[in-house]
Amino acid sequence: MMDGQTLWTVIQVILGSGIISSLVLWLTSRHKPSVDTGHLTVEFMSQVMQDNKDLRGRVDNLEVKVGDLQASVRAKDREVDRLNRDMATVAEALWVQHEWQENGATPPPPTIGADALRLLHQRRATD
């Protein structure tokens, strides 16, 4: 524990230091930019334009890739359509055969399922 007089002296020193520090901070903290802000602005805009150009190039490349992918998707769609048509033909032929069998026709007429049998053989060969 400090005696009262010492404490008061210490507090005087602290408060005085605070005031002096405050003045010193005010005087030394003035911001003086040593750069030419106009030059910085021009450089920044130039950089932005270069970035813009680069981005346009990247967008062009992406558009080409997207075009290729879309063509690939269209080809796949066509393949799916063809398979759908084949499956519809097989299903229809099997249904007709089923109806003949239900009605007691044995064996089923040779005219049905010619295309279906061809497609089934084809499918087995590819599987």
User: Given the complex with other proteins, which of 18 and 67 has the nearer CB atom?
Assistant: 18
Residue 125 in the binding site for other proteins (CB under 8 A): no
CB of 59 to other proteins, least distance (A): 20
User: Given the complex with other proteins, which of 40 and 117 has the nearer CB atom?
Assistant: 40
Asked whether the beta carbons of 120 and 94 are under 8 A apart, the reply is: no
Site for other proteins in 16-45 (CB under 8 A): 17-19, 21-22, 25-26, 29-31, 33-36, 38-40, 43-44
Residue 12 in the binding site for other proteins (CB under 8 A): yes
**Amino acid at the residue 13:** V
- Residue 107: asked if its preceding bond is cis (omega within 30°), the reply is yes
Angle, CA of 29, 27 and 33, to the nearest 5°: 40
Q: What span, in angstroms and rounded, lies between the C-alpha atoms of 32 and 74?
A: 63
Residue 101 in the binding site for other proteins (CB under 8 A): no
User: What residues contact residue 119 under an 8 Å CB cut-off, 6+ apart?
Assistant: 86, 89, 90
CB of 86 to other proteins, least distance (A): 57
Q: For 126, phi and psi rounded to 5 degrees?
A: -75, -30
Strands (DSSP E) contained in the chain are: none
Question: Which residues are at the interface with other proteins (CB under 8 A)?
Answer: 1-2, 4, 7-8, 10-12, 14-15, 17-19, 21-22, 25-26, 29-31, 33-36, 38-40, 43-44, 46-47, 50
